[in-house]
Amino acid sequence: MNGEIELIRGDITTLGCDAIVNAANSSLLGGGGVDGAIHRVAGPELLAECRALGGCEPGGAKLTAGYRLPARFVIHTVGPIFGDGTADEDETLRDCYANSLALAASAGIESIAFPAISTGAYGFPIERATRIAIAAAKRWLDGERPPRRIIFCCFSETDRQVYARLLGDSA
């Protein structure tokens, strides 16, 4: 692995890395959870820029400025709504990570922080989602391009413990 994976528990809107990832809805116009928090902290300029983007498909990723956030950029990705696990939810979630990392690389971003995408209101089981997130990060870090520092930022201690256990298992 040619980089580092970090795990923290905290509020992603406070991180001073190059980019944070927003677990957005397809409109990109704000919502609940981490999406609402990012929009509140970034300010109305983020909403204005997102309006011009025309939404985003599940698995896709779009880049905006960070505005009032400590992070310079926000990468918005739309995770899958989890049904019974047979509607390509795993592949769509993998695409969220892969497309966010590829977009970060194209923008020269060296450090990126991810929330636990789709595990809140979208109902993706945390352990299953975490395995996908870690595998995507490790696959990316096996390459030679930025970002070289991937941070998983868990809002809850319960989620942080799942990440910690699975990162330990895969080390």
Residue 170 — pLDDT band, cuts 50, 70, 90?
Answer: low
Residue 7 is inside which H or E element, if any?
Answer: strand 4-9
Contact 48, 32 (CB under 8 A): no
Out of 3.50.50.100, 3.10.580.10, 3.40.50.720, 3.40.220.10, the CATH code matching 4-170 is 3.40.220.10
Instruction: State both tokens at 79.
Output: 């995770």
Length of the chain: 171
Per annotation, catalytic residue among 18, 35, 95, 159: 35
Q: Which runs of consecutive H residues, i.e. helices, occur in 18-122?
A: 33-42, 44-53, 89-106
Greater pLDDT, 28 or 145? 28
Q: What is the pLDDT of residue 65?
A: 98
Q: State the average pLDDT for the chain.
A: 95
| Domain residue spans of the chain | 4-170
Q: What percent of the chain has pLDDT over 90?
A: 92
Among 80, 97, 129, residue whose Cα is nearest residue 21 = 97
Q: What is the pLDDT of residue 44?
A: 97
Among 108, 44, 32, 119, residue whose Cα is nearest residue 75 = 108
Q: Does the annotation mark 169 as catalytic?
A: no
Please tell me the distance from the alpha carbon of residue 64 to that of residue 53, in angstroms, as a whole number.
9
Q: What is the pLDDT of residue 1?
A: 66
171 pLDDT exceeds 70? no
Q: What percent of the chain has pLDDT over 70?
A: 98
**Assessment of whether the complete model's pTM goes beyond 0.75:** yes
